[in-house]
Structure 1
Amino acid sequence: MKNKIISLVVAVTFVSATFFMPKNVHAQVFKGIDIYEYDNIQNWNTVKNSGVSVVIQKASQGLYHNDSLLNYRYPKITSAGLKIGYYHFADNTGNPIGEAQHFLSKVQGLHSDTILWLDIENQPNWTKQQAIDYTNQFISYVQSQGYKIGVYTGLSFYYEYLQGNISNNVPIWLASYGRQPQQYPNIVSWQYSESGNLPGVVGNVDTDYFNDSIFTGQATQQTNNSTSTATTQNNIDTSISSLQSELNRQGYGNLKVDNIAGRRTLSACPTVHKGSRGNITKWIQQRLGVTADGINGYQTQVAIKNFQRAHGLYADGIVGKNTWRALLGL
């Protein structure tokens, strides 16, 4: 992806897209492009006929910038029969919730075939903790508003900053030019070039191979013997059965571990206050898409309150029966 203010620093692409086209893979792959207002698309039908099936259009950036071509392109893309999605380019404003609200205000009312996307890049502009906190808070807020979302970033940014430190339930889309990501295509989608040449496009355009998680919003979970400590810490099972097992272990109930969120499971859930620690707090954190460190601190409180507001609950940051009911989908 590109933006007017800051460009992604990338390696030169030495190998053609044809060379990289995956063969005999398990995940279904969809060819796509991602665009912003400075890309020159002249004929959408020609783009589709070239094999492209998905277009991810920039919607917003930071707190105030809107892509000037979003609403102009929207009917053209959909009329051509292309699947459409939208992304927000992150600025390090210190206000991820405000940026998420800005993004949602731009895409609200527009049809989307894919999940929404957060584009966070330009590694020198972020400290590791800033990137982690921003990403988790942005994701949590968007999810609290009823949307599914994934994260786009560069290969090194993801592995050095984000992997294991953000929700492992969101799809990942990685930019890597000249090098196929190790987890592609079953785990991640891949932006393989920023200088693609396609019929119907004047100049270069970002080109991508997407797996079907962009439609479902369900990230494929990875098993890796070299998983880092941070990844292990965040790899919390958010199924109802895992919660039931933990409630039994801590003596809150004698529940049947059946993965069914019913009255007995709800009754066994304890009230979780600010400062609470442990695996139940981790389960809540992962359910909300924030860093699962088992400590109900500031970031978790923000996520809980946003979740409560989104579900018409009193936003006090306390996970009581009504909040548990919403978390369990009752």
Structure 2
Amino acid sequence: MATADPHPTPGDVWLPIPPGEIDGLPDGLNYVHWDAGPDYPADPARCVFYAVPYMKAADVCLRPLTRMRRVRVVQALTAGIDHMLPGLDHMPPGAQLCNARGLHDASTAELALTLTLASLRGVPDFVRAQDAGEWRPDYRPALADKSVLIVGYGSIGSAIEDRLTPFECARVMRIARTARDTVRGPVHPLSELTALLPTADVVILATPLTAQTRGLVGRDFLARMKDGALLVNVARGAIVDTAALLSEVETGRLCAALDVTDPEPLPADHPLWHAPGVLVTPHVGGPSSAFLPRAKRLLRGQLALFAAGEPVRYVVATAPESTVDRSTRP
């Protein structure tokens, strides 16, 4: 739980959604709307709860933090918070950074399944044929009877398995940082990844970007995947070594379906756009009609806890204690 605000006056809550559009916000707080515009709606120094704008550049989202001397909670609306971690050094000691666990489960899991099916069944080729007015029947692999490995078995990974269940996969394997048992079967630790990779027809990445997972999918990882396997990335682009992936897909040994890339956005002249067997979507796992009602529900729940002086949920990092006098920051 964040330490108590030493200031007795109520603080401001910055929301990227107009407060009037969120039913049931708790009383006793002053709500203002800021969605990354050039002007601030109020003095950042009064902000005690900062809900980070969604799908905005990291530098813009971080900008007000240098002046938020009273902020106790910074609530991202993304599952990954790598873009906000640099802000920890600008937050008061004890302030908490929260992710949006559960918010994007449905939408991202839907896209993971969409990318998997579209790639296996050759939908991009059929769309190109339609554009050319050509009838091109083809024999393509099904998801049925395939072995699927989910790398990153958190709430999104679990939601992906929910959607895989009706498709008659031969086997679903799960990898997370630490081992555990679930009602569906074991979750294997990351240390067993190399042994499981050669058994998977489809590998779906849903892991957060951390120091441990950055570049995880490099030459050794890809070399262990079986010939003809499909790599699906709905996590973060930097988890994959792009040059190593290009080497594999350009030979036709592997295929890939990528909602995230490194670099991102992908430059117009980047070879990934035209690499054989590669399907690219522009980081659209989260933004769908499922986002807004779930974002409102998450913010309402977190603010109810905050207003009641209860611990907020989904805390992933806490600003460290510092000997620097932050009260004199500009």
Normalised TM-score (structure 1):
0.29
Of structures 1 and 2, the larger Rg is shown by 2
